[in-house]
Chain A
Amino acid sequence: MTPTLFADLGLLIILLGLALLITAARPAFIAVAAYMAYGLVMALAWVRLAAVDVALTEAAIGSGLTGLLLLGAVAWSQRHTQFQARRLGLRPGIPRRAGAGRGLTLLVALACGGVSAGLAWVVLTLPEPAPSQVPLVQAALPITGLGNPVTGVLLVFRAIDTLLESVVLVFALVGVWSLASDPAWGGRPRSLHVVQHSGALVLLGQLLPPVGILMGLYLFWVGADAPGGAFQGGTMLAAMWLLVLSAGLAEVPAVASRRLRLLITGGPLLFLAVGFSGWAFAAGFLGYPPAWSKPLILAIEAALTLSIAAALAMLVAGPPERPTAADPQPDPQPERNQQRGHR
């Protein structure tokens, strides 16, 4: 057994252990924490699979943003369960929803095991030699002026996917905002609302963003020739914005804000405009005139980076809300909490 295979095996065992924890842990908080760790280890696995672009995306979105989102959701639902239980005069510890019976669990486990076994069989019998698009990409990449084949695929060869993906982000945001209650419509998302300023978080919110923003812009810029790109850079920028917001150093914009909406739709709109102009100046929809391809791609990527950053941050911030009594209150009184401790 070679050392690298040994390392891969270790990576895989950690991943499977975390996956088991995500599925089986009883408190939702532990499952979400395990998911964040899983995303980071998975980023290492992507590097081992020679997919550094994917590794960056996985660490940023799969672990970071999804983890933040789910953590916020778990905290929210626990807080509201508590609050409502107290309001309705119920016992604070709410009984869990009933799970499936033993027989059904066994049946589902067998079925899922069957799916796994089937997939494992597929993996073991993948065609040899493996089909590959590498020669095609390598032959066509010089025309684009790009050095990173993944960026080439994302913004030239399969640009339609990327265009639709950036539109999906906008649609998801429309969907999330639509879940606001009528009186809250047009207002500010409150999930990142700061109840009590924490000195440490404020310091981090002041120290890190200059470096983080630089790193986000670098990731976007270097994406043309090395691993990186609009999505990785945009996520980095979104993370910095979220950090500043959750440190209470800036206020979450209202969803009715024109500037915010322009920022979010700017990237996809520019992409669409360039796409349509391809009919006039190039081979067709989403075609670039060869002499202009590199500057056009960079312009689209720059606008996309900003739009993705704004859309991702606002997606995590959630729908606009009005203050409720179930929100966390400032000035905690620990002694009362201890009296009410239900552990």
Chain B
Amino acid sequence: MTGEREPGAQADANRRARVLMKGNEAIAEAAIQAGCDAYFGYPITPQAELLEWMARRMLELGRVFIQAESELGAINMALGAAATGARVMVSSSSPGISLMAEAMSYMAGSGTPMVLVNIMRAGPGLGGIGPSQSDYFQATKGHGHGDYRVPVLAPASIGEAMELMATSFELAERYRTPVMLVADGILGQAMEPVDLRFRTPERQTFDWALTGAAGRPGRVIKSIDLDPEVLERRNLDLQHKYREIARRETRWEGWQLHDADLVIVAYGTAARVARTAIERAREKGIRVGLFRPITLWPFPSHELARLSRHVGGILTVELSAGQMVEDVRLAVEGRCPVAFHGRMGGLVPTPDEVMGALKALKGRVDRIASPERHAHMAPVSRWHEPPERTEAEPWIHERVRRGGRR
């Protein structure tokens, strides 16, 4: 490259800094540039390239890389390294994250910072290796046991994933908490042009880190407290921290919302499909906007609630059976219809499918606006309902089935 076709040297430098990178590798390099001291992992598709990038680069830089004996081993190595104040990271994909759940709970309980990347694949069980967002519940409501939360960041592009890696380390250290970055398998596997602009969060000194008890009493990093009163106080402190995080760190992005009659709520790859669908809808005169949560926890509930007062209806699009849509409905509180469209098993909704769901929602919204309101409270689900079973079923099943059809 000589830069002859560019008007100036600066443009040439910009062009050189823009490269085509695979998501997993870009995320790994962003973590390295963010100052990651130690990486621990275990091979699993579709995140293996992240581990492989770390295997080469971390050793080149004289930092710590270990391919552990399991995801249990990997995250507990991270726990030990993080307890000394090091900047640490693990990555895996859905089944591996299930194994890491135990240590997540311990780290949340003991206030140990760490960044965990989940390149999500389709479940349940071994499932498949296709892209998925079916770990939303796991990431935002669960993984391990106990009353705890972790901040969950969800990029929609490789470039954004790189920026959010630095943010993840910042949040982890600022709030002494594990932080999850979740991306569906497409973001891990796809290649995109990205700017090689990195951010390294400032190093802090920690008054809790284990460095050897020289000239001070021994420090203990632990989650256990057998005294219920003490343990409740610790839990209350945690809840206070989570309220702080929710107040200060909620992130989302709006697009074409200024005149929107309908809004799609989607994150990650689903949000990109939604953008294409929104462009097509607007060509047809349907005014649709996009509300894209960037933090899945804390979920931008207040912002979505405010928005729901001004729009006719909301469509949630996910690569799942409908997980985030529960948070959307909680935020909207019935102020407008909330429809859902999703695909599972490693499939991705097409813009055409989303258009179809938008048209169905629009019809429903128009009916609500018309004098004869009918049946607008029935939730619209776009996947195939199983046929009614004809044989006699136990009573409990009948109850569940009837109760389920609101």
Question: Does chain A bind chain B?
Answer: no
Interface residues of B (CB under 8 A from A): none
Interface residues of A (CB under 8 A from B): none
